[in-house]
């Protein structure tokens, strides 16, 4: 989850960017966490899931597309059979 929080302090607008990762990924392979971090970092620059967004993801993590597929398959398996790790 990435959040953008804007606050007014005095006469200035302060922006804060946060990345939070679900505890669901606590016991998953490190590569899954790497993919999620890359995905959320890319959102700091590109808000939409467009071509530029995925190019940035692949620039930061060359195996991004394979890792994203693996994470999606893991989540489907988890929904079907429960947590296996």
Q: Where are the domains of the chain?
A: 23-81
Q: Considering the chain, what is the average pLDDT of its residues?
A: 86
Name every residue whose Cβ is closer than 8 Å to that of residue 59 and which is 6 or more positions away in sequence: none
What is residue 32's predicted lDDT score, i.e. its pLDDT?
95
Higher pLDDT, 12 or 5: 12
**Better-predicted residue by pLDDT, 50 or 19:** 50
Cβ–Cβ < 8 Å for 32, 74: yes
State the pTM of this model. 0.76
Q: What confidence tens digit (pLDDT) does each residue in 8-45 have?
A: 666 676 666 778 888 888 889 999 999 999 999 999 89
Contact partners, residue 63, CB within 8 Å, separation at least 6: 31
């Amino acid at each position: 989850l990435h959040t953008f929080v804007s606050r007014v302090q005095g006469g200035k607008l302060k922006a804060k960017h946060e990345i939070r990762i679900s505890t669901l990924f606590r016991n998953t392979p490190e590569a899954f966490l790497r993919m999620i971090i890359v995905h959320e970092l890319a959102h700091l620059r590109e808000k939409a899931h467009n071509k530029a967004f995925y190019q940035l993801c692949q620039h930061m993590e060359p195996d991004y597309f394979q890792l994203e597929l693996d994470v999606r398959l893991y989540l489907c398996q988890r929904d079907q059979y429960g947590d296996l790790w």
